[in-house]
Amino acid sequence: MGESAGGPILVALDGRSGAGKSTLAAALADTLNVAIVHGDDFYRDTPETERFKLTPSQGVDRYFDWERLRAEALEPLRRRERARFRCFDWVAGGGLTSAVTVESRDIVIVEGVYSARPEFDDLLALRVLVEVASERRGRRRHDRLRTVSRDDPHGWDRRWDAAESLYFEAIRPQNTFHLAVSGDG
């Protein structure tokens, strides 16, 4: 595990889309003095035509810029330094926002799908799997996307789900997490 003397405890809240990771992280932030890093901020700015061609294994590796997440957020926070990084601009649908700053705390939570990827094992003290029934996840995803067209002409949901399935079945299965919790709130 990624523990070192004097360094903060890094915790990954991982789980499938709509499992409740962000909600749990927000609840922890309200209760404890923790730093939060959102994996969604590191969505890779890739042309959609290129993104649509990715296989599930390529998606696991390239939907999110895990190298930038590690270098710009997790490593500085682990050294008790301030992290400064630019976030994917979800409002514009591409590009990066101006820089945001996250101060290091005794506990740093990184939340999002793929946040417990093996490439972070040397940094993470705790890998938490957030789970919820697939019907509830589906409702949450639908509610989240209600403001945008639910028409999916390119089969994005199917490809996204295939990458998540590969990750949670072959790369980071349930038995590789330290703890599993309910995302039912």
The type of residue at 104 is S
Give me the pLDDT at residue 137, please.
63
Give me the pLDDT at residue 16, please.
92
pLDDT above 90 as % of the chain? 65
d(CA 65, CA 83): 16
- In 3D, which of 78, 72, 81 has the Cα closest to residue 5? 78
Mean pLDDT by 10 residues, the chain (185 residues): 70 92 91 95 91 91 96 97 95 92 96 97 97 72 55 66 93 96 80
- Six token digits for residue 112: 């999002």
Which region holds residue 70: left if phi is over 0, alpha if psi is between -120 and 50, else beta?
Answer: alpha
Does the structural domain 9-180 have CATH classification 3.40.50.300? Answer: yes
Those residues with Cβ within 8 angstroms of residue 171's Cβ, 6 or more apart along the chain or in another chain: 60, 117, 118
> pLDDT for 107-138, tens place per residue?
999 999 999 999 999 999 999 999 987 777 66
- Six token digits for residue 107: 């506990």
d(CA 83, CA 137): 31
* pTM to 2 decimal places: 0.88
- Specify the 3-state DSSP secondary structure of 81: coil
